[in-house]
A and B are shown apart, each in its own frame.
Chain A
Amino acid sequence: MTTYKFLNVIEKCINCGGCFAICKDTNKVPHGTARVKIVTINEGVPGERNIPVSCMHCTNPPCEAACPVKAIEQRADGVVLVDKDKCIGCGYCGWACPFGAPQYPHDLHGAAAEYEGIMDKCTLCVTPFVPGATLKSPQPKCAQFCSTKCRLGGDINEILPQYREAKARNIIAWQERV
């Protein structure tokens, strides 16, 4: 059984913005909306870390529970998707999400204009901003292009060993020096 997830080895994120840009390029996410964004904590002081934040495709998605119109649905492979047709843009999912992943784009143009105020978020590159195509094996471009390989995305069975190795050895390296 395949389950898709993201894991971030935050000791390796350099805030290069590659995930943000390739996501925009791949999914045609309009200006002002981000499906993935890097958040920096402790900027400019020791302890500064960058965290790529997007929908984490939770096992028990609080957004799904919060949605009053049942627009949010989790696929069998774990990918959480919103049906933009059903979505009413109420914002409850935004309140429910611990990561602030749901976005409510505004000021849209062209084909995207239809989705003014309708929730958008990471779909593991299953579908672009203007929906219309699906994908059986999600291939998150942000993880594929990650410059330092800090962002791992895909089948949890594949990425978890990578994450554990990177994480454990980073922790050991740190402790030795403290």
Chain B
Amino acid sequence: MATRTKSMDKSSGIRLSRRTFTKLTALGTAAALSGISSVGTSAAEILVPAASAAPAPGVKLVKSICSHCAVGCGFHGVIEDGVCTGLEPWTDHPVCQGGMCSKGTSIAEMINSETRLKSPMKKVGGKWVKISWTEALDEIANKVKQVQSTYGPDSIFWMGSAKMTNEECYLFRKFAAFNGTNNVDHQARICHSTTVFGMANTWSFGAMTNSWNDMRHSGLIFFCGENAANSHPVSMQHILEAKRRGAKFIVADPRFTKSAALADQYIRFRSGTDIALIMGMANWIIQNDWHNKDFIAERGYGFDAFKEEAAKYTPEVVEDITWVPAETLKELAYDWAHPPAAELGEDSVACICWAMGATQHTVGTHNIRSFACLSALMGYVGKPGGGCNAFRGHDNVQGATDMCILSHSLPAYYGLSDGAWKHWVGVWNRHAPVTFDEMKAKFAEHNGKSLINVKGLTDSRWYEGVLNTDEFPVNQPNPVKMAFVWGHSLNSITEMKKMKQAMEKVELLVGVDPHATIAASLADRPDGIIVLPASTVFEKDGSVSNSARQVQWRNTLVEPMYDSRTDYWIMKELATRLGFGAHFTYNSPEDITREFNLGMRVIMMKQSPERLKKQQQYCADFGVEDCQAKSGPCAGEYYGLPWPCWNDEHPGTPLLYRNDVPISEGGNDFRTKFKDAAQSTPGNPVSDDGVSMLATGGYDELNSDGTPGGGWKTELDEDFKDIIAQNLCPSGSGRMRFRAWNLPDFVPTHREPIESPRPDLIDKYPTYDDVADHYRIPCKYKTIQQERKNLVNEGFPLILTTGRQVEHMGGGAETRSCHYLVELQPEMYAEINPKTAGSIGVKHWDYVWVETLRGRCKVRAYVTERVNDQTVFMPYHWAGWFEGESYADRWPEGTCELALGDSVNIICVDGYDRTSNMQETKACQCKVYKF
């Protein structure tokens, strides 16, 4: 509370005497006040509760967007003398209606946190030394140059952040490109990368199809691997409203979550068996002929293959795999096909929602595909209240994903082909001269091939790129020698023991974050670490995209505190030192927005800063039911101009794939994205088995002149107004895929987790074959699954699964530094069933060890019926202890978080999604015993 103590002191100095207090109470004062630091001069110096009324002189109320989850709640920061002294609700914010959870309401405390990193620090001779920004940046830039010239550009790993603004995310990807490497990645890899792959390979876009507010219209809301009450609290406002209107709310989860407590029905299933559950539902629906045959015939592809696979999942088979009784499954399938009338009557539809419970699996991509197919089976897509709602994690993880701080793509999912590079180099060239050949020359060659087109390392396994062991050799010219941890919590990545070794092995480790985090403290090394204080998201301007593709402008609340700098400034300074500063020098964040507006054509992020700011100003005009402005300067627009937003007049697309409204009013269709290159011709995209991928009455993607072709993705100066006026969707009108012929499993197929409690099912549903090169590193599947087949009989009988606490966020460095949140949630624990506790002689809140093949964690035992006697649950926000040993003395002085705990990612399994390299955190075998 360093800075805010100022206001506390002020109030204590002139504080009214204890005696006068009662008198004043009786008298009352002129107006409402916030109660913070407004005491002192006179009773008139008063703060006002809502934006509608004028604040006191010298006090500003500034609109901002919460930095925690991807709901994108708004609030007003109370700014006094340049200090954020508190919050006021933003009651007409279309998404949150003023609501915020404990993390959001702690924002003022977090901005002013006394444990923030206050200046650049360098570890020298085992001690932390304060250095200047110039020294720090010079040293880092020189090291970058030295590593690039000695080992090549791929020997630096750039780990970016979903906590940056869209503008900074975009620049971060561009920054990696100018550094000549695709070794750049961020949290989306370990959060929803499987959602993007799964959804994009089914629907054609990889994002949440509907929106938070839209769930109010659902007849049935089905959570599978999502605990919104913990991870997206304010979204529950809309879900509970739907329930109040008569919707059925069903939660399927290995754990009886806080969301499950408020649901109409809770279904417990075994972690890692989502596909069996969903395919079982699909099968029962098909068997009973409840599916939507019109939708499938008109807009679907590959249904027969899907039906054939689904037929294997009879209710009895599903019961054996998932723990869900056959009768319950049948009822669930019936409910899914017949959602209660709720609000929409006969047109009632259902939506499915998930988060990391579904994504973080070795079969994550196929989990998501199964959800999308289940939704398509009933035609619940492109309709209010329907769709597939992926609840994303960070405030701007959707934006960071769209900007593709990802090792396999350039911004807007263009990929890494020469064509993609030429498109983006064309965009960058408009800001400062650069050619494709110049760009290509920055990249190294490996095995006779330019690495410009080769997917880079991912943040889920970046450490293997450093360690370069015989078991997991890295497929690039040299191993990683330097790593940037830029706004990323390392304790959210699994295999932390290996990561710790890697952090000890790199020549220089650079942390950039408002907090020192374990980037500073995890490695056992006397030197070779520099940490830079980045400003928080509230200390800069920029846009952020929430999970519903709604883009909002976030204003600066306060200037960067202490000696912190914005991520943009740090990038620009490094770029200047590395010789390409012109490409990173902008007059304002808005200039960066306009630059990516030009290039982000695949998803049409053409939301100009002016339009976003206008929406912020007139937010009260947007309705809570559909987020559309019915009147005022933004009339007709949808809040946040959800992409695709085709041009400067387009209102945004609130529901993806909705083809019963004009494109100009937010209509959309399945892209004609999937086509077999050898057989397809312009205008006639076909699948690998020769089936047309055009919807009934559909058409191929278009050039600006109306001819079939991919011009809509590359013609930078076209706004496609003519085509949209003819009610044609420039991205085409194609089919969604039940059968995805480019994935390891064409149709979602149950595969047992790497570590499973059922050896018999491993034989029946084995995992994938090992892969020699998975994002530059070999990846083991079958080998390790076979080696560990009998873990359940070898002392590891319990399933370990992980998840979130409402009070903490991500790796928790920020929230564990906040007094209020630490008071609510002070220690790391493992939830164990009373039976488990009884069997090992442990009482509630005793210390226990939770051990897996990777290591063990010392945590409190939280004895609860939330988990059954075969499951253990641990939250993943904790760090600072390592296998029971506190590392508190390793932080730079005064920067250690207020609450530390052992990290569950030390012990999570070493399994990775076969498509996206997502880490498995939700299913492995463990044992628990008394400390």
The answer to whether A17 touches B25, judged by C-beta atoms less than 8 angstroms apart, is no
Interface 9-mer from B15-23, B322-330, B507-515, B552-560: B15-23
- Binary contact track A135-168/B, C-beta < 8 Å → 1, others 0: 1110101001111110000000000000000100
Q: Which of B32, B245, B866 contacts A139 (CB 8 A)?
A: B32
The answer to whether B244 touches A173, judged by C-beta atoms less than 8 angstroms apart, is yes
In the assembled complex, the Cα of A149 lies from the Cα of B105 at a distance in Å of 15
Most chain A beta-carbon neighbours within 10 Å: one of B50, B236, B261, B264: B261
In the assembled complex, the Cα of A85 lies from the Cα of B17 at a distance in Å of 9
With an 8 Å Cβ cutoff, the count of chain B residues facing the other chain is: 76
Query: Across the two chains, which residue of chain B brings its CB closest to A166?
Result: B244
- Binary contact track B1-20/A, C-beta < 8 Å → 1, others 0: 00001001101100110110
Q: Which of A25, A44, A134 contacts B864 (CB 8 A)?
A: A44
Q: Which residues of B contact A169 (CB under 8 A)?
A: 244-245
In the assembled complex, the Cα of A22 lies from the Cα of B76 at a distance in Å of 13
Q: Distance (Å) between the CB of B825 and the closest chain A CB?
A: 8
Asked if A106 CB lies within 8 Å of chain B CBs, one says no
Interface 9-mer from A51-59, A60-68, A92-100, A124-132: A124-132
Asked if B233 CB lies within 8 Å of chain A CBs, one says yes
Q: Which residues of A contact B87 (CB under 8 A)?
A: 22, 25, 145
Q: Which residues of A contact B245 (CB under 8 A)?
A: 169
The answer to whether A17 touches B244, judged by C-beta atoms less than 8 angstroms apart, is no
The answer to whether B865 touches A110, judged by C-beta atoms less than 8 angstroms apart, is no
- Given A12-B240, A131-B16, A136:B29 Cβ within 8 A: yes
- Given A44-B864, A48-B261, A17:B102 Cβ within 8 A: yes
- Given A46-B266, A144-B89, A135:B35 Cβ within 8 A: yes
Query: Across the two chains, which residue of chain A brings its CB closest to B262?
Result: A14
The answer to whether B824 touches A84, judged by C-beta atoms less than 8 angstroms apart, is no
Q: Distance (Å) between the CB of B166 and the closest chain A CB?
A: 25
Query: Across the two chains, which residue of chain B brings its CB closest to A172?
Result: B246
Q: Which of B19, B36, B100, B243 contacts A147 (CB 8 A)?
A: B100
Q: Which residues of A contact B266 (CB under 8 A)?
A: 46
Most chain B beta-carbon neighbours within 10 Å: one of A12, A110, A148, A170: A148
In the assembled complex, the Cα of A147 lies from the Cα of B43 at a distance in Å of 31
Cβ < 8 Å to A, chain B residues 208-264? 228-229, 233-234, 236-237, 240, 243-246, 248, 256, 258-259, 261-262, 264
Asked if A27 CB lies within 8 Å of chain B CBs, one says yes
Asked if B530 CB lies within 8 Å of chain A CBs, one says no
- Given A16-B233, A26-B36, A145:B25 Cβ within 8 A: no
The answer to whether B15 touches A130, judged by C-beta atoms less than 8 angstroms apart, is yes
The answer to whether A133 touches B38, judged by C-beta atoms less than 8 angstroms apart, is yes
Q: Which residues of A contact B259 (CB under 8 A)?
A: 14
The answer to whether A149 touches B865, judged by C-beta atoms less than 8 angstroms apart, is no
The answer to whether A170 touches B864, judged by C-beta atoms less than 8 angstroms apart, is no
Cβ < 8 Å to B, chain A residues 1-55? 11-12, 14-18, 20-22, 24-28, 31-32, 43-46, 48-50
The answer to whether A18 touches B29, judged by C-beta atoms less than 8 angstroms apart, is no
The answer to whether A28 touches B36, judged by C-beta atoms less than 8 angstroms apart, is yes
In the assembled complex, the Cα of A133 lies from the Cα of B228 at a distance in Å of 38
Q: Distance (Å) between the CB of A35 and the closest chain B CB?
A: 11
Q: Which residues of A contact B823 (CB under 8 A)?
A: 24, 31-32
In the assembled complex, the Cα of A148 lies from the Cα of B244 at a distance in Å of 12
With an 8 Å Cβ cutoff, the count of chain A residues facing the other chain is: 60
Cβ < 8 Å to A, chain B residues 99-140? 99-106, 108-109
The answer to whether B91 touches A25, judged by C-beta atoms less than 8 angstroms apart, is no
Q: Distance (Å) between the CB of B709 and the closest chain A CB?
A: 47
The answer to whether B820 touches A111, judged by C-beta atoms less than 8 angstroms apart, is no
Q: Distance (Å) between the CB of B522 and the closest chain A CB?
A: 28
- Given A26-B35, A44-B866, A173-B243, A21:B820 Cβ within 8 A: yes
In the assembled complex, the Cα of A141 lies from the Cα of B108 at a distance in Å of 14
Asked if A83 CB lies within 8 Å of chain B CBs, one says yes
The answer to whether A14 touches B100, judged by C-beta atoms less than 8 angstroms apart, is no
The answer to whether A18 touches B104, judged by C-beta atoms less than 8 angstroms apart, is yes
The answer to whether B101 touches A18, judged by C-beta atoms less than 8 angstroms apart, is yes
Q: Which of B15, B49, B243, B806 contacts A17 (CB 8 A)?
A: B806
Asked if B678 CB lies within 8 Å of chain A CBs, one says no
Asked if A101 CB lies within 8 Å of chain B CBs, one says no
Q: Which residues of A contact B598 (CB under 8 A)?
A: none
- Given A18-B104, A133-B29, A148-B234, A170:B244 Cβ within 8 A: yes
The answer to whether B99 touches A132, judged by C-beta atoms less than 8 angstroms apart, is no
The answer to whether B865 touches A45, judged by C-beta atoms less than 8 angstroms apart, is yes
Q: Which of B35, B38, B99, B246 contacts A148 (CB 8 A)?
A: B99
Q: Distance (Å) between the CB of B141 and the closest chain A CB?
A: 40
The answer to whether A128 touches B36, judged by C-beta atoms less than 8 angstroms apart, is yes
The answer to whether B106 touches A21, judged by C-beta atoms less than 8 angstroms apart, is yes
The answer to whether A145 touches B100, judged by C-beta atoms less than 8 angstroms apart, is yes
Asked if B31 CB lies within 8 Å of chain A CBs, one says yes
Q: Which residues of A contact B106 (CB under 8 A)?
A: 21, 25
The answer to whether A148 touches B32, judged by C-beta atoms less than 8 angstroms apart, is no
Query: Across the two chains, which residue of chain B brings its CB closest to A38?
Result: B824
The answer to whether A144 touches B35, judged by C-beta atoms less than 8 angstroms apart, is no
The answer to whether B36 touches A20, judged by C-beta atoms less than 8 angstroms apart, is no
The answer to whether A133 touches B39, judged by C-beta atoms less than 8 angstroms apart, is yes
Asked if B677 CB lies within 8 Å of chain A CBs, one says no
Asked if B24 CB lies within 8 Å of chain A CBs, one says yes
In the assembled complex, the Cα of A125 lies from the Cα of B34 at a distance in Å of 8
Q: Which of A46, A50, A137 contacts B32 (CB 8 A)?
A: A137
- Binary contact track B27-58/A, C-beta < 8 Å → 1, others 0: 11111111110110001000001100000000
The answer to whether A134 touches B25, judged by C-beta atoms less than 8 angstroms apart, is yes
Q: Distance (Å) between the CB of B100 and the closest chain A CB?
A: 5
Q: Which residues of A contact B15 (CB under 8 A)?
A: 111, 130, 132
Query: Across the two chains, which residue of chain B brings its CB closest to A125?
Result: B35
In the assembled complex, the Cα of A111 lies from the Cα of B26 at a distance in Å of 23
Q: Which residues of B contact A128 (CB under 8 A)?
A: 11, 35-36, 39
Q: Distance (Å) between the CB of B523 and the closest chain A CB?
A: 32
Q: Distance (Å) between the CB of B181 and the closest chain A CB?
A: 41
Q: Which of A22, A111, A136, A145 contacts B28 (CB 8 A)?
A: A136
The answer to whether B21 touches A83, judged by C-beta atoms less than 8 angstroms apart, is yes
The answer to whether A133 touches B33, judged by C-beta atoms less than 8 angstroms apart, is yes
Q: Distance (Å) between the CB of B557 and the closest chain A CB?
A: 14
The answer to whether B99 touches A149, judged by C-beta atoms less than 8 angstroms apart, is yes
Q: Which residues of B contact A139 (CB under 8 A)?
A: 32, 49
In the assembled complex, the Cα of A133 lies from the Cα of B824 at a distance in Å of 27
Asked if B819 CB lies within 8 Å of chain A CBs, one says yes
The answer to whether B820 touches A25, judged by C-beta atoms less than 8 angstroms apart, is yes
Asked if B821 CB lies within 8 Å of chain A CBs, one says yes
Query: Across the two chains, which residue of chain A brings its CB closest to B863?
Result: A44
The answer to whether A20 touches B109, judged by C-beta atoms less than 8 angstroms apart, is no
Q: Which residues of B contact A125 (CB under 8 A)?
A: 34-35
Q: Which residues of B contact A48 (CB under 8 A)?
A: 256, 258, 261
Q: Which residues of B contact A130 (CB under 8 A)?
A: 11-12, 15
In the assembled complex, the Cα of A73 lies from the Cα of B21 at a distance in Å of 13
Q: Which residues of B contact A16 (CB under 8 A)?
A: 101-102, 229, 233, 806
Asked if B86 CB lies within 8 Å of chain A CBs, one says yes
The answer to whether A144 touches B91, judged by C-beta atoms less than 8 angstroms apart, is yes
Asked if A107 CB lies within 8 Å of chain B CBs, one says no
Asked if B915 CB lies within 8 Å of chain A CBs, one says no
Q: Which residues of B contact A22 (CB under 8 A)?
A: 87, 100, 105
- Given A15-B229, A21-B820, A21-B821, A132:B11 Cβ within 8 A: yes
- Binary contact track A85-125/B, C-beta < 8 Å → 1, others 0: 11000000000000000000000001100100000000001
Of the A-B pairs whose beta carbons lie under 8 Å apart in the complex, a sample of 5, sorted by A's number, is A14-B228, A44-B867, A130-B11, A136-B31, A147-B237
Residues on B lying within 8 angstroms of A by beta carbon are: 5, 8-9, 11-12, 15-16, 18-19, 21-22, 24-36, 38-39, 43, 49-50, 86-87, 89, 91, 96-106, 108-109, 228-229, 233-234, 236-237, 240, 243-246, 248, 256, 258-259, 261-262, 264, 266, 806-807, 819-821, 823-824, 864-867
17 additional contacts (CB under 8 A) given A85-B22, A86-B22: A11-B262, A12-B240, A14-B259, A15-B258, A20-B820, A25-B86, A32-B823, A44-B256, A81-B25, A132-B15, A133-B38, A134-B43, A141-B89, A145-B105, A147-B99, A148-B99, A148-B234
